[in-house]
Amino acid sequence: MEQGTIRSDRWNEAAKYGLIFGAISAAYLYIGHIQVALGVSGAFASILGFVLWAGKLTGCIMLMKHVMGKFYLKHPESVTSDIFRLGVLIALLSALVYSVVAVADMLYVFPEYYDAVYTAVIEEYAKVLPAQQVDELRTVLVDAPKFTFIGNFIYCFLFGTILSLILSRNIHSKDPFSNYKQDEQ
């Protein structure tokens, strides 16, 4: 019964926090759009972008540690692998949420922004590449949303999985050998 409870609670927590982590990353994406819309550029934009990125990264790591620790406190019978699986599920679901939001952003929310970026890229490469390669570049940029989804999903999932592995090792869990008693002779 305990393992079934752990499993269902793990999925519930992963779904809830997967949405939260995905929303945090999506908010960071839209803050970047706001910076561009406000015309913030130069060194200030770079410094601000770095500070926001570092805050997002640190906040997500601390939140993941908190979630995993809270899960352990709720289920003290859980072992390290249970806590790790929670982190992997959160990583999977948040990567999915963020990847979908990023592609929707490219295709539906700000397509003119990405079209302008693609046009600028093609214009710069047209100065140094032959026409045939520029046409090939246009063909590749048509598939940019697919590459964005796959790349974001893989990156976010791997980052979250590695983070979960590191954090789960530092959360105290039940020693599987604690009930072992050596035979007395």
Element (H, E) at 60: helix 42-74
Instruction: Give 85 or 178, the one with higher predicted confidence.
Output: 85
The answer to whether residue 86 is domain-embedded is yes
Residue 182: pLDDT band (50, 70, 90) is low
Average the pLDDT over 78-99 and give the result: 93
The answer to whether residue 180 is domain-embedded is no
The answer to whether residue 89 is domain-embedded is yes
The answer to whether residue 182 is domain-embedded is no
The answer to whether residue 69 is domain-embedded is yes
Containing structural domain, residue 89: 2-170
The answer to whether residue 127 is domain-embedded is yes
**148 with 102: CB under 8 angstroms?**
yes
Helix (H/G/I), strand (E/B), else coil: 175: coil
Q: What is the pLDDT of residue 25?
A: 92
The answer to whether residue 178 is domain-embedded is no
Answer yes or no: is pLDDT of 152 > 70: yes
Q: What is the pLDDT of residue 1?
A: 43
Residue 109 tokens read as 């929310």
Total of domains in the chain? 1
Q: How many CA atoms lie within 13 A of 34 on its CB side?
A: 9
Answer yes or no: is pLDDT of 184 > 80: no
What are the backbone dihedrals phi and psi of residue 176, each rounded to the nearest 5 degrees, phi first? -65, -15
Mean pLDDT of the chain: 87
pTM (predicted TM-score): 0.82
